[in-house]
A = this chain, B = another copy of it.
Amino acid sequence: MNISSDSEYLKNLGQLVIDQLIAYRSRSMTGADKVLELKPFHELDNKLGLDKFVQQQPISVQEFQQFLDLYLHNSMHIHHPRNIGHQLAPSRFPTVLADMIVSAMNNGSGLYEMGPSASVVERWVINWMLNKIGWSSDIGYQASGVLCSGGTMANITALSAARNLASPSTWKYGCNEQQVILTSAESHFSISRAAGILGIGCDNVITIASDDTGKLLVDDLSKAITKLQDSDKKIVAVVANACTTSSGVYDDLVAIAEVCNKNKIWMHVDGAHGASAILSEKYSHLLSGIELADSVTWDAHKMLQTTSVCAGALFKRSKNIDAAFTGSAPYLSLDEDCDYPNQMRRTIECTKPAIGLKLYLTLALLGEGEVASIIENLYQKALGFYDIINTRDEFECLCKPESNIICFRIAGKCRDEQKAIRNRLIQKDGFYITETEVNGDHYFRLTVMNEATSSSDISTLLDLIIGYGDLGGNNDLID
């Protein structure tokens, strides 16, 4: 059988995938099964039996069904109401449609001619983001940006530009002076990783103290800058969090911008998770001052409801993004004026898929208002869940949540006990939650990404934790 030409076979496989995916999604949303059937790697490896299907190709429709069943069952069920773990959006219809179109077309978005429609859509999406931040060209800025495969790449893009502008010889001749980045300890690991990659060195990320909740202490930032100004170290950037990945709290962007502005230091806002709150009238105040930054990272695949990955690296001044990967090359600033904008100059990626369509179709089909109301609803839900947790004496919350991230712990329990409880919740009870450390203390961490997660899910979760908590230091919990 030649599978390329056997249209009956293809039709059957296509229909099977669509039916299975729809059934899988519906079943997940009802809360059936566990969020995660976490078998040991080698056990799942044996079960999936991947070699077999490759050796016996073309795989029959029945065999394919068998593979797909196993694959889906042993995945993270992201649509499940008891999935309160990572910051990934449960895939919605518009972004899945976009992914299908992107896949079938396989156009690039790096060069205009490799994907004209894709390039126009990317430009629209970037302009929409810039506009939300307050960087529309009509207020005197010529802002710009690029879509990247994730927030880490957007952070690297911004910090590469900041490094090249702070030390203009770096791009051509390498790092010749000691460069530093300043940020709080609660920053995402991609900041210190970016410093390692960029040749700055991850030990040269200077940690500014934060308050108990994870907010950068602006006075300490000022003092650190003053101290550095007497040294031979070059400050590349200050990175502010909006919000922190660990605890979901927002740094004071206005105050940080004031310090950066006074000292003429690049301000980067890592808004991968929290920049989306700017869409909500109720929560946009959390982003006050974001327009004062020089660059912003904003992921669409977290709160803007697209599938992963789709992240904006956004720059207040167009000429600065052109410094990210080319040092200072004046001729590149023409880009904004030319008719065929080639984003390849501004991105690490060469073959760059047409990811902008995910966000465009989400906004076009769901509507901006609906996206804003999803964000508001999830932030609001987190406050409600916090109230439930906070009224129980057995638990301590890190703080009243500012976003859809809630950190809490069992009073008096150690890290290992909490880790063991988390394992049980996943393996036995079918919940999925994460854990984190803030200021050295260990917490359970919930990220409310799903409108289907209910107060009763949270109450059940707490009851289970208390049940395990009663077991105290029982070692068989630690598996």
Contact = CB atoms under 8 A, between A and B. Distances in A.
Interface of A: 3-4, 10, 13-14, 17-18, 21, 24-25, 36-42, 44-45, 48, 50-51, 53-54, 57-59, 64, 67-68, 70-72, 74-76, 78, 86, 88-93, 95-97, 99-108, 112-121, 123-124, 149-153, 156, 160, 170-175, 178-179, 188-190, 193, 195-204, 299, 301, 307-309, 325-327, 339-341, 348-353, 357, 360, 363-368, 370, 426
Given A150-B351, A198-B199, 10 more contacts: A18-B100, A41-B339, A44-B120, A48-B120, A58-B367, A74-B120, A76-B105, A76-B115, A149-B150, A151-B350
B116 A88 contact: no
A195 B275 CA distance: 32
Given A74-B117, A119-B41, A367-B58, A4 B92 contact: yes
B38 A116 contact: yes
A71 B363 CA distance: 16
Nearest to A149: B149
A12 B357 CA distance: 19
Interface residues of A, dominant DSSP: helix
A364 B57 contact: yes
Contacts of A25: 104
A114 B36 CA distance: 9
Q: Which residue, A38, A96, A120, A360, has most C-beta atoms of chain B within 10 A?
A: A120
A17 B71 CA distance: 25
A59 B364 contact: yes
Contacts of A17: 97, 100-101
Contacts of A199: 170, 174-175, 198-200
B200 A174 contact: yes
A455 to B, nearest CB: 21
Nearest to A119: B41
Contacts of A119: 41
Contacts of A90: 106
Q: Which residue, A14, A97, A352, has most C-beta atoms of chain B within 10 A?
A: A97
Contacts of A72: 105, 117
A234 B295 CA distance: 34
Given A54-B364, A93-B10, A76 B116 contact: yes
Contacts of A97: 13-14, 17
A289 to B, nearest CB: 25
Contacts of A91: 103-106
Q: Which residue, A24, A105, A107, has most C-beta atoms of chain B within 10 A?
A: A105
A309 B116 contact: no
A237 to B, nearest CB: 15
B190 A350 contact: yes
Contacts of A42: 339
B172 A175 contact: no
A149 B198 CA distance: 19
A341 B41 CA distance: 8
Contact of A365 (B38, B59, B426): B59
Contacts of A3: 93, 365-366, 370
Contacts of A18: 100
A160 B197 contact: yes
